[in-house]
Amino acid sequence: MNNKTIFQVFLILFVLFLIIFFYINYFYKKDTELVSNQDEIRSTNFSESPDTTTIKEILYESYDNEGNKFTIKSKSGTFDEKKKDEINMINVEAKIDLANGTFIRLVSDTAKYNSSNSNTKFIKNVRLGYLEHKINSNNINVIFTESKIEAYNNLIYRNSDIKLSADKVELDLITKNTKIFMFDNSKVKIIKEYNGNN
């Protein structure tokens, strides 16, 4: 080999070395930093264990055949691998926009939401508001497939005129009919409330 060929081989190797050097120092580091940043973002929204996945800031919307819209959101929720349609939510707020223009608001500590049919079980410190009607109880079920709401366990119902204590209240979202009853067939306790205008 003559000197010219040796110089050309050396020059090619040097250029390859520079390309590899710049790639490792500038591009490869940026790629790995990007991957690690994505992992951090993912970890702020998800956490996983072998059987569950937790997600933060959940929002679902659905509609029934009557045109009622159901919106539910929570600070976080856990998906169970064994019950893929069920989400256990924490710090829950929900709203049902009825086709007639009125709406129902619900708030609870926790809820079990079925993502396939929107049926929801609100659990612990549940509060419902609908027009002048207020319900506090430990459990309220929104059975969206039947356009029905059930409230029970430590149930207190109030409106502008009365306060009552009962075992269960059922509200039909289509007919707006309400059933109030006790499990043991005893009488519902009703207390007449007077506001300052009466």
Indicate yes or no: pTM above 0.75: no
Check if the beta carbon of residue 99 is closer than 8 Å to that of residue 70.
no
- How confident is the prediction along the chain (198 residues), in pLDDT tens digits per residue? 677 777 777 778 777 776 776 666 655 444 433 333 333 323 334 444 555 677 788 888 888 777 888 889 888 888 777 777 888 889 999 998 888 888 889 999 999 998 888 889 999 999 998 888 888 999 999 988 888 889 988 888 887 777 777 788 888 877 777 787 776 666 666 666 545 444
State phi, psi for 27 to the nearest 5 degrees. Answer: -85, -45
Half-sphere exposure in the Cβ direction for 147 (13 Å, CA): 16
- Identify which of 168, 142, 143 has the alpha carbon closest to the alpha carbon of residue 155: 168
Give yes or no for a contact between 99 and 67, defined as CB atoms under 8 angstroms apart. Answer: yes
- Amino acid present at 194: Y
